[in-house]
Copies of this chain bind each other. A is one copy, B any other.
Amino acid sequence: MRMDELHIPRYRKIYEMLRRHIEEGVYQEGDFLPSENELCKLHNLARPTVRQALDALVKDGYIKKHRGKGSIVSRKDPKAIGILSIVGTTSAVGRHNLQTKILTPPTLEQWEEPFFYKLSNREKESGCIRLERLRLVKEVPVFYDINYLPNINLPRFTSRKMENKSLFEVLRKNYKIDVIGGDQRIRAIPAKEKVARYLQIAEGAPVLHLQRKLETNRNGYCFYSSLYCNTEEYSLYGKF
């Protein structure tokens, strides 16, 4: 009997439910969500639990709250790509316009030295699954990213088909790994040859460079991304 069975908190379940409903259009831009008290009754929850879920939706930019009025579903600027949202970059521009090409399929390797984040010995010893992707919005390349996942308890990951799937979704659906937070460093740098080629811009043109550490609901399990972004047409968008 495993004792470390994953227990999904209720506030997270209702968060996911509401998020899905918003993304699927059950609630549209400008619609009012049910009030906090209604959600309590509907799902048999106490108000702080509901509020925890709604606060996460606010943080991720799905809704805005107005005292005395209610929670209103936010418009999504189609020219802004979610950057700090824990649901990844897929949602903000709409699934339809976003393609993902795999440049290098998931491969088990040694960690690069030096790595841009400090790694624990456990991470170093287990090796690194590396995955390069190109993400296109309306056929135009916008992101080029390299993802690094510690090879800990990810059976069959290197043989998964990743084309046109969100990395976050693969982790959530197949491994029950949810991203719960993270941090990142952001720079503006001139595009080097490889980055320029992938993003179809001039060498030396300004690109956004993000180095991210993603924390998950698996205790102590993190993964990492190095991400180059062409911000000529799309800009990153974040809340705080």
Question: In this assembly, does A94 line the interface, its C-beta being within 8 Å of a C-beta of chain B?
Answer: no
Question: In this assembly, does A86 line the interface, its C-beta being within 8 Å of a C-beta of chain B?
Answer: yes
Contact A187 B235 (CB under 8 A): yes
Chain B positions within 8 Å of A83 at CB level? 186, 240
Contact B240 A183 (CB under 8 A): yes
**Chain A stretch 39-62: residues in CB contact (< 8 A) with chain B:** 48, 61
Measured between C-beta atoms, what is the minimum distance from A109 to chain B in Å? 26
Tell me the nearest residue of chain B to A213, going by C-beta: B239
Choose from B86, B182, B190, B240 the contact partner of A206 (Cβ within 8 Å): B190
Contact A187 B239 (CB under 8 A): no
Given A48-B48, A189-B206 in contact, is the A184-B237 Cβ separation under 8 Å?
Answer: yes
Contact B206 A207 (CB under 8 A): yes
Contact A185 B235 (CB under 8 A): yes
Choose from B48, B84, B209 the contact partner of A238 (Cβ within 8 Å): B84
Question: In this assembly, does A34 line the interface, its C-beta being within 8 Å of a C-beta of chain B?
Answer: no
Question: In this assembly, does A152 line the interface, its C-beta being within 8 Å of a C-beta of chain B?
Answer: no
Measured between C-beta atoms, what is the minimum distance from A113 to chain B in Å? 20
Question: In this assembly, does A229 line the interface, its C-beta being within 8 Å of a C-beta of chain B?
Answer: yes
Contact B239 A182 (CB under 8 A): yes
Contact A184 B229 (CB under 8 A): no
Contact A188 B238 (CB under 8 A): no
Contact A206 B186 (CB under 8 A): no
A208 to B205, CA, bound (A): 13
Contact B208 A240 (CB under 8 A): no
Chain B positions within 8 Å of A85 at CB level? 240
Given contacts A183-B238, A186-B238, A187-B231, 4 further A-B contacts (CB under 8 A): A86-B240, A181-B239, A186-B186, A189-B206
Residues of A in contact with B (beta carbons under 8 Å apart): 48, 61, 80, 83-86, 181-190, 205-209, 229, 231, 235-240
Instruction: Give 27 CB contacts A-B under 8 Å.
Output: A83-B240, A84-B240, A86-B240, A181-B239, A182-B239, A182-B240, A183-B237, A183-B239, A184-B237, A184-B240, A185-B237, A186-B186, A186-B208, A186-B231, A186-B235, A186-B237, A187-B208, A187-B235, A187-B236, A188-B188, A188-B208, A189-B206, A190-B206, A206-B206, A206-B207, A208-B208, A238-B238
